[in-house]
Structure 1
Amino acid sequence: MPFTSPNMNYLRRVDLNHLVTLQALLSEKHISRAAIRLSKSQPAVSHSLAYLRKTFDDPLLIRRAGKLELTSKAEELLQPLEEALAQLTTLFEPPEFSPMLANRTFRIAMSDYGVRVLLPNLLSQIRAIAPNIKFIIKQGSREAMIASVVDGECDIAFGVFPDIDKELQKETLFEDEFVCVADKSTLPDCGYLSLSAWLSRFHLLIALKEGVDNEIDNSLNKIGHKRNISVILPHSSIAGELVRGTDLILTAAKRTLGTLEKQSELTLFRPPFHIDSFNFDAIWHKRKATDPSHIWLRKMIYHSLTVKVTPNSVCV
Structure 2
Amino acid sequence: MSKQRNRYEPKSNMSRIDPFAIDFSALRTLVLVHDTGSFSAVATRLDVNQSTVSYTIERLRKAFQDPLFVRQGSGIAATDRCREIVVEVREMIGSFEALTVPRAFDPAKASGTISLSCNYYERLVLLPDLLKVLRREAPGLHLNIHQAFGSGGQQLKQGDSDFLMGPIRFNDAGLFKRRLLNDHYVCIMDRHNPLAEKQLEIETYVSANHAIVTYGGNWKSQFLLELEEQGRSINQVLGVPSPADLGRILKGTDLIATLPSRMAAPLDQEMVIRPSPVPAPFEIDLVWTSRTHHSPMHSWIRQELAKIAAGIPDVSKIGE
Same fold flag (TM > 0.5)? yes
What is the CA RMSD across the aligned residues, in angstroms? 3.8
How far did residue 148 of structure 1 move?
A: 1.1
Aligned pairs (5 A) from 1:63-142? 63-64=69-70, 66-69=76-79, 94-141=102-149
Q: Give the conservation status (yes or no) of the 8 Å contact 2:209–2:256.
A: yes
What is the alpha-carbon distance in structure 2 between the residues aligned to residue 307 and residue 128 of structure 1?
18
Mapping for residues 240-255 of structure 1, pairs under 5 Å = 240-255=247-262
Instruction: State the match for 2:242 in structure 1.
Output: 235
Quote how far apart the aligned CAs of 1:162 are: 2.1
Partner of 1:270: 275
Q: Secondary structure, in 3 states, of the residue corresponding to 1:232?
A: strand
Q: How does 1:1-20 map to 2 (within 5 A)?
A: 14=21, 18-20=22-24
- Specify the SS of the correspondent of 1:100: helix
- For 2:69, the aligned partner's letter is R
Gaps of 5+ in 1: 1-9, 309-316
* Mapping 1:107-256, distance limit 5 Å: 107-141=115-149, 143-187=150-194, 190-210=197-217, 213-256=220-263
Contact 1:102 / 1:130 at 8 angstroms: preserved in 2? yes
Q: Which of 288, 291, 296 does residue 295 from structure 2 map onto? A: 291
Q: Given the superposition, is the C-alpha separation of residues 240 and 29 from structure 1 closer, same or farther in structure 2, using an over 3 Å criterion?
A: same
Does the 8 A contact of 1:29 with 1:70 survive in 2?
no
Give the one of 62, 65, 79 matched to 2:68.
Answer: 62
Partner Cα separation in structure 1 for residue 58 and residue 207 of structure 2: 66
SS in 1 for 2:227: helix
Give the percent of matched residue pairs that are identical in Structure 1 and Structure 2: 22
- CA separation of 1:97 and 1:41: change in aligned 2, threshold 3 A: farther
Change (3 A) 1:42 1:269: same
Cα displacement (A) at 1:124: 1.1
Pairwise CA distance, 1:241: 1.7
Structure 2 segments unaligned to the other structure (5+ residues)? 1-17, 313-320
Per-residue CA deviations over 1:224-265 (Å, capped at 9, x if unaligned) read: 33222122222223111222221110111111124212x1x5
Amino acid at match of 1:287: R
Q: What is the count of residue pairs matched by the alignment? A: 280
Report the CA distance between 1:125 and its aligned residue.
Answer: 1.3
Which TM-score applies when normalising by structure 1?
A: 0.72
How far apart in 2 are the matches of 1:156 and 1:297? 10
**Counterpart contact for 1:187–1:193, Cα < 8 Å:** no
- Return the alpha-carbon distance in structure 1 between the equivalents of residues 146 and 129 of structure 2: 18
Deviations 1:4-39 (A, max 9, x none): xxxxxx677x4xxx5333554677774979x98xx9
**CA 1:207–1:52 in 2, change beyond 3 Å: closer, same or farther?**
closer
CA deviations on 1:20-64 (whole Å, 9 max, x unpaired) are: 33554677774979x98xx9655566656666777x6x5466324
Q: Which residue of 2 aligns with 1:314?
A: none
Aligned residue in 1 for 2:318: none
CA 1:191–1:173 in 2, change beyond 3 Å: closer, same or farther? same
Equivalent-residue separation in structure 1 for 2:35 and 2:256 (angstroms): 49
Q: Distance in 2 between matches of 1:304 and 1:189?
A: 33
Measured at CA, do residues 101 and 48 of structure 1 come closer, stay the same or move farther in structure 2, by a change above 3 Å? farther
Deviation at 1:209, TM superposition (A): 1.9
Distance 2:25 2:167 in 1: 33
- CA contact under 8 A between 1:219 and 1:275: conserved in structure 2? no
Amino acid at match of 2:275: R
CA contact under 8 A between 2:210 and 2:237: conserved in structure 1?
yes
1: distance between equivalents of 2:237 and 2:196? 25
Instruction: Give the letter aligned to residue 296 of structure 1.
Output: W
Amino acid at match of 1:110: C
Structure 1 CA distance for aligned equivalents of residues 242 and 196 of structure 2? 30
> Judging changes above 3 Å, is the alpha-carbon distance between structure 1 residues 285 and 69 closer, same or farther for their aligned structure 2 residues?
farther
Higher deviation after alignment, 189-198 or 103-112: 189-198
Give CA-to-partner distance per residue, 1:137-160, whole Å, 9 cap, x none: 12142x211111111111111111
Distance 1:257 1:94 in 2: 42
Q: Which amino acid aligns with 2:24?
A: V
